[in-house]
Structure 1
Amino acid sequence: MMLRMAIGDRIRTIRRSFNEKGVSQTGLAKHVGVACHTVSRWENGIYEPTLSQFKKIADFFDVPVAAFFPAPTHQTRSIDKLNQLTQLAKQLTIRDLDEVLLYAEYRLQRESEAASKAQSVLPV
């Protein structure tokens, strides 16, 4: 039951904050192909969406399905940061996206090198 409540809270939060204005339960229900009272029941933890409904909801809000499930705090922050990055990236030009990708690859390489260096310093 606690999981259903957590899922419902996430659906409500994402729905209300979608595109700054939010979307109604009726609007979400139409997209998913369910009755509007079904969305209300999801949000109140009475029902939970099926896997195919989760996929439709996630596609509608442009978030991963995992966004609806509770995660440890650091994972939630990470998911929120990824969602924020995705929304910002949609506004960039292809050239800017290429630059962001190059920077991400640079950061990963730097972290990998630092980890390798730390491994080589450990006493045997």
Structure 2
Amino acid sequence: MLANNIKKLRKIKRIKQTDMAKQIGIGRTALSKIENGAYFPSANTMKKISDFLNEPLGDIFFNTNVLENNTEDD
């Protein structure tokens, strides 16, 4: 779920991969690898992604339901 949430959130927010990578201080290729699940980011990079997307860290990296509008507790 890690890769899918980052890419989906970035696309929903209409942010280009190049722009996001530059803002969080990594290369576009590195961001692409993170989005595709080929590379797992450091805790520091995870925090930068969370801050940049203005989304809780858990929703991006751990909550598999975040993009299904099913994040409320029952």
Q: TM-score range by the shorter chain?
A: 0.7 to 0.9
1:17 is aligned, of 12, 27, 30, to 12
Specify which structure has the higher proportion of helix.
1
Q: CA RMSD in A?
A: 2.0
Deviation at 1:49, TM superposition (A): 1.5
Deviation at 1:55, TM superposition (A): 0.8
**Counterpart Cα distance in 1 of 2:49 and 2:20:** 8
> Structure 1 stretches of 5 or more lacking a match?
1-5, 80-124
Local SS of the residue matching 2:38:
coil
What does the per-residue CA deviation read over 1:90-119, in whole Å, with 9 as the maximum and x for residues that have no partner? xxxxxxxxxxxxxxxxxxxxxxxxxxxxxx
Bigger relative contact order, structure 1 or 2, given CA contacts below 8 A and separation 6+?
Answer: 2
* Residue 43 of structure 2 corresponds to residue 43 of structure 1: no
**Counterpart Cα distance in 1 of 2:64 and 2:5:** 14
AA aligned to 1:51 is A
> Structure 2 stretches of 5 or more lacking a match?
none
Deviation at 1:70, TM superposition (A): 3.9
AA aligned to 1:16 is K
1:77 is aligned, of 33, 51, 70, to 70
**Counterpart Cα distance in 1 of 2:50 and 2:43:** 10
Question: TM-score normalized by structure 1?
Answer: 0.51
Question: TM-score normalized by structure 2?
Answer: 0.81
Local SS of the residue matching 2:26:
coil
Residues 73 and 9 of structure 1: CA distance in aligned 2, closer, same or farther (over 3 Å)? closer
Residues paired across the two proteins, number: 70
Deviation at 1:23, TM superposition (A): 0.5
AA aligned to 2:6 is I
Work out which of the two has the higher radius of gyration on C-alpha atoms and give 1 or 2.
Answer: 1
Aligned position for 2:24: 32
